[in-house]
Amino acid sequence: MSHHKAEDHHNSTRYRKGALSMFDDYRSRKVIILSHCLLNQNSISDGTSDFPSQFNEIIEFLMINCIGMIQLPCPELLCLGLDRRDIHGAKRPLLDENTRIRELMSEPENVQVMQHKAEEMTIQIQEYQKYGFQVTGLIGVNRSPSCGIETTSKNGAEEQGKGVFMEIFSKTLAEHGITIPMIGTKTSEKETSIEKIRQFVHQ
């Protein structure tokens, strides 16, 4: 193939369905969205950290599979601060404290903050999808009052359903016509969570 033909062939691969396809460098074009605390355990409520800094096994698995990680903001840190508005929160039973946090996060001013963050994240997802990147999905944290996927904390118990922020984020994505798979982990159930993520990514 001549130099000019090779160049023409290269340029032609940059067009897909009539739209310019860029970013044909070394990037994987695959991303996944993670709850903030999976990458930064320092952000979570007092007494609930299971790791010094991050969930290493999940992070390493995603790195090996060349999946870029988009870190969600920690809604509780933004709205309630590190102390979650009570320096004695860790003295309560976990589900009671989580329920208290969920009730605070449901206040109108905090819902407004979360809605704004959900809109920001949606813009990022739209940009990746616009250029043909694979948004593999979203990994949340079950039982969390804010970021639970399959379960959350409510009424002093772990119940089926999403956390407050994930409810808002899911609704925002749907309003923009975006559907991405979501799965919940638990840092306290390390092996089970790792296996769930393996199956989730390879499905």
Q: For residue 83, which of 110, 43, 51, 50 has the smallest C-alpha distance?
A: 43
- Torsion sign (Cα): 38, 43, 46, 51: positive
pLDDT recorded at residue 48: 92
Kindly state the DSSP code that residue 65 receives in the 8-state scheme: T
91: left (phi over 0), alpha (psi -120 to 50) or beta: alpha
In angstroms, the CA 84 to CA 97 distance is 10
Output the CA angle 8-14-18, nearest 5 degrees: 105
* Mean pLDDT per 10-residue segment, the chain (203 residues): 43 43 88 98 94 94 97 98 96 97 98 98 96 96 98 97 98 97 94 94 87
